Amino acid sequence: MGVAVVTGANRGIGLEVTRQLAAAGHTVYLGARHLASGRAAAEPMRDVGLDVRPIELDVTVGKHREAAAVTITHDHERLDMLVNNAAIHYDTGNRATAPDMRTVSEALGTNLFGAWHVTLALLDLLRRSGHGRIVNVSSGAGSLLDMDGGRPAYRLSKVGLNALTRMWAAELREDAILVNSVCPGWVETDMGGRGGRPVQEGAAGIVWAATLPDHGPTGGFFRDGRPIAW
């Protein structure tokens, strides 16, 4: 079975992605900004025999990224799946013509640059897999086709993440690494709020992309396993 890292995994979509991957038999490193939170989230899954290993992984902290790479190298010498899920600031009420630039900067730092840095830190391990998968958890809010006003911090970070998906897919094709963006839809989580779809449904599309066969798509934008517009 495979080895996976899921960032922002101590709650919400990331936690459910972790549970689904581990239930399928994979070893999953549950990344959390604070190790205590990660341990608390992992404990119920570990209690039923799932191989979930909490690690301290604030995606904006270089020493966390480096430590994750060292740990996985020591334990497995490869990484099969990376799910860039960590995200902040769904900035409803903020506007691009009157932005809170601190919020914009923080969102880009985590949602875009954090994912970028984590991927670079773990890229050699993904190459060693021979069938690596990178899933960037994006959003329809980052689709240029449907772009309108509001939520500039969140939208811009997801547009950038989608662009990275396209570039990485092209550059990593020769390494047999498939890279895709996935929109989980409006999911009822702390960030998504009440009234959305069950978290299990949103997570399933991410797990689908993380476990694609070698002939699967790369450089795409998907929801529930179906392409959506950039």
Active site residue ranges: 154
Q: What is the 3-state secondary structure (H, E, C) of 50-92?
A: CCEEEEECCCCCHHHHHHHHHHHHHHCCCCCEEEECCCCCCCC
Q: Name the residue type at position 5.
A: V
Token digits for 153?
Answer: 């911090």
CB-CB neighbours of 190 under 10 Å: 8
Number of Cβ within 10 Å of residue 157's Cβ equals 30
Residues 110 and 64 sit within 8 Å (Cβ to Cβ)? no
Report the candidate in 167, 156, 178, 189 with the shortest Cα–Cα distance to residue 222. 178
